[in-house]
Amino acid sequence: MKDKAKGQKLGLKLYSLFLIFMLSSTAVASQTLDVYLHIGGSVTVDGIPVEVEDISTNGKVVFLNINGTTYGLEFGESVNYSHITVYAGSIDLTEKEVHLIFENVSGLESSDSDIEISAQYPSKIVNPGEETKFTITITNNGGDGEFSLGYTSSGDLEAYYMAEGAKITRVYLEHGQSATLTFVVKAPEEEGTFEVYPIIGDTSIKLELTVTKEDSYEVYPQYLAQEVEAGESATFPLTIKSNTDLQISLKVQTPQDWEAYFTSDGKRVSELYIPAGTSMQVALVVEVPSSTPIGEYPVKAKIGEKEITFTVGVYETHAGEEGKVLLTLVDSSDGSYVSGALVEALDSTGEVVSKAYSTPNGEVQLSLPEGVYTLRISKGGYETKEIEDVEVEAGKSNDLGIEQLERLTHYFEVEVPESSKSATLGEDIVYEIRMENLGTEDDSFRLIVDGLPDTWAYRIVESPDSKTGVSQVTISSGSEKTIYLIIIPPNNAELGEYNFTLNIKSVGSGEQKSIPLETSLVGSYDMSITMTKYSYDAKLGETITISAYVYNTGTSPLTNVVLDVSVPEGWIYTVEPEKVTSIDAEGYQEFKISITVPQNIDAGDYKITLTATSDQLTDEEELRITVKSSSTSTYMGLGVTVLALVLLGVILKKYGRK
């Protein structure tokens, strides 16, 4: 009975194949699809939903619901609906599975569904007739429910589902629940690439099966797809099994600007020799540029005549970001860090794109757009160094490690803290000169000043208090020395600005450095007030005239000179002139002061203050005016006194003691 059933099933299958062949041979501009559904399973073809409602108890009739209308079909029968034709293929009552053939369709569709399906490895390579397993994960994003399991394929494939070690035709999932199923596919006997679509509920996913006969060698990839961050590498391990002595080449095709290569035992390889009956482990390494956009990219590896397509998924990109170049600078002679070195990044045209200075720890960090650069490193006392072909990737750091700088035999630096100074005529001008010998050998330096007026003098000393001048100093390698340049202008030098140059020449190398210096020579300011007399007598109401002289005792002119007079309240004064525009050095100006004494003040001494003011400074001087009463006033006073005495005598005589 069992053999009979098997034979019947085989006959049905052959009839189905014949029917498919006939349909496909007559449908030139259309497509024929094979779909395997269990009871309750459904698909949507060209927008038309088709569901297997049930199978008759004798297993001869399948009941299909096509867009809301139920049809009963026996094996080989068909129904036309809209532009499609649906044929009933094999009907398996035991497995509750139906084989449906759709003619004149453009493709299988997945309707909007709450079911998500994913497969970690959607493409496999198998031998003819071999079974292979796909692990698929389904997630229910909708309500709790039971979902039928089916499939469709582009070839004569047999498939079924397994879970927990048993075949299954339906799966129950609560909302948010996921399940992992094994989808088992038996490859056809013919070679080729076949598509198979697992159908869960009304949702499907595309899987690919490459069927090929066993050759003289086989290639087994461990992974077919990897996800990486842009700028990282994806590694695909491969096992190559040889059935004969084999010499095989390795090639790879990547997206533009990517790099890929094969490795074995830590070495890059491009051709292999594998003895018969042995295997060799290799790895395909794919380096993804850091500016690669997010997405999936194919990488085709060709191992001999076999070609495998890998997928590299980029989940994070650094496009548009700058990259960094890191390095540490040290002295080649003693390994000490080199600080303050200038590091410049030059593009292909030689233009400086970015620059940075090394830290006290010799560290340098440059941020640059993606590209290839030349680094130029320079510092006083060291040979200039260039590093070519420095690659910068977006969002990545390229650490060049330690770079050694070679010191020059002779080199020195000069610093003048104050190269421009101002001094008063009659004073010496002192410049502090700091020198450092950065060469590897001791050196002497000649010093000379050019550009001073002929009547000026200078002296170079090693101490500000020294009276002995020098014309040459010696500085040990790596040492510093401070010297002093003293400029001595004559007392009759003209006021103004003077520019001159200090030239320092290395005896060892002949190198000369010229330091421009500037002196601003200004005059001194001093002023005094003098008078012929500092004490005057005056009567009430009298006006006296005083001559006051304002002297310029400095070496520079006084400008806008005014003489002000401070007198007691009620006094009146005038000054002539009111203002003098300028008084030359060692010159003076006479001011006439008229002061009128009031009539109604008491006799006595009064203080008068003279204040001379210019744009540059102020000076004061005082004088005294003694005010005396007039003769008439004196006699009147005596008369009043005598009268008072007479009256006092009369009163005493009349009212004296009795």
606-629 pLDDT, tens digit per residue, is 999 999 999 989 999 999 999 987
Distance CA 302, CA 309 (A): 9
**E strands along 535-578, which residues?**
535-539, 543-552, 558-566, 572-576
Q: Indicate the pLDDT class of residue 255, thresholds 50, 70 and 90.
A: very high
Please determine, for residue 512, whether its predicted confidence score (pLDDT) is greater than 90.
Answer: yes
Domains in the chain with CATH codes: 2-211 (2.60.40.10), 217-316 (2.60.40.10), 323-405 (2.60.40.10), 412-522 (2.60.40.10), 527-631 (2.60.40.10)
How far, rounded to the nearest angstrom, does the alpha carbon of residue 244 sit from its chain's CA centroid? 57
Instruction: Report whether 357 contacts 396 (CB < 8 A).
Output: no
> Per-residue DSSP letters for 25-91?
HH-SSSEEEEEEEETT-EEEETTEEEEEEEE-TTS-EEEEEETTEEEEEETT-EEEETTEEEEEEEE
> Per-residue DSSP letters for 254-275?
-STT-EEEEEETTEEESEEEE-
In one letter, which amino acid is 657? R
The pair of structure tokens assigned to 184 is: 């088992």
Distances from the Cα of 585 to the Cαs of 263, 557, 578, 610, in angstroms? 94, 5, 20, 21
- Work out the percent of the chain whose per-residue pLDDT is above 70: 90
The pair of structure tokens assigned to 551 is: 């002297």
Would you state the pLDDT for residue 9?
39
Please determine, for residue 3, whether its predicted confidence score (pLDDT) is greater than 50.
Answer: no
The pair of structure tokens assigned to 455 is: 């009547």
Would you state the pLDDT for residue 374?
96
Beta bridge partners of 348: none
Distance CA 254, CA 287 (A): 10
379-388 pLDDT, tens digit per residue, is 988 999 999 9
More confident residue, 506 or 5: 506
Could you give the dihedral angle defined by the CA atoms of residues 20, 24, 27 and 31, in that order, rounded to the nearest 10 degrees?
90
468-487 pLDDT, tens digit per residue, is 899 999 999 989 999 999 99
Instruction: Report whether 290 contacts 230 (CB < 8 A).
Output: yes
Q: CA nearest 412: which of 485, 502, 509, 331?
A: 509
The HSE-up count of residue 310 (CA atoms within 13 Å, CB side) is 29
Would you state the pLDDT for residue 45?
85
Distance CA 78, CA 89 (A): 9
Distances from the Cα of 177 to the Cαs of 51, 115, 141, 147, 201, in angstroms? 24, 10, 8, 13, 15
The phi and psi torsions of 200 (rounded to 5 degrees) equal -115, 115
Would you state the pLDDT for residue 647?
72
108-166 pLDDT, tens digit per residue, is 655 456 789 999 899 988 878 888 999 999 999 988 888 888 888 877 788 999 999 99
Would you state the pLDDT for residue 646?
66
169-197 pLDDT, tens digit per residue, is 889 999 999 999 999 999 888 888 999 99
Q: Indicate the pLDDT class of residue 217, thresholds 50, 70 and 90.
A: confident
End-to-end CA, the chain: 189
Please determine, for residue 656, whether its predicted confidence score (pLDDT) is greater than 60.
Answer: no
The pair of structure tokens assigned to 269 is: 């390889």
The HSE-up count of residue 297 (CA atoms within 13 Å, CB side) is 26
More confident residue, 380 or 18: 380
Average pLDDT value for the chain: 87
Distances from the Cα of 466 to the Cαs of 421, 458, 504, 593, in angstroms? 21, 13, 20, 54
The pair of structure tokens assigned to 404 is: 């050694």
69-102 pLDDT, tens digit per residue, is 999 999 999 999 999 999 998 898 888 888 888 8
Cα angle, residue 459 at apex, residues 457 and 460 outer, rounded to 5°: 150
Neighbours of 178 (CB within 10 A): 12
Length in residues, the chain: 658
Q: In the 3-class helix/strand/coil scheme, how is 92-155 assigned residue by residue?
A: ECCCCEEEEEEEEECCEECCCCCEEEEECCCEEEECCCCEEEEEEEEEECCCCEEEEEEEEECC
Would you state the pLDDT for residue 107?
66
- DSSP conformation class of 382: B
Distance CA 438, CA 408 (A): 8
Beta bridge partners of 577: none
Please determine, for residue 16, whether its predicted confidence score (pLDDT) is greater than 50.
Answer: no
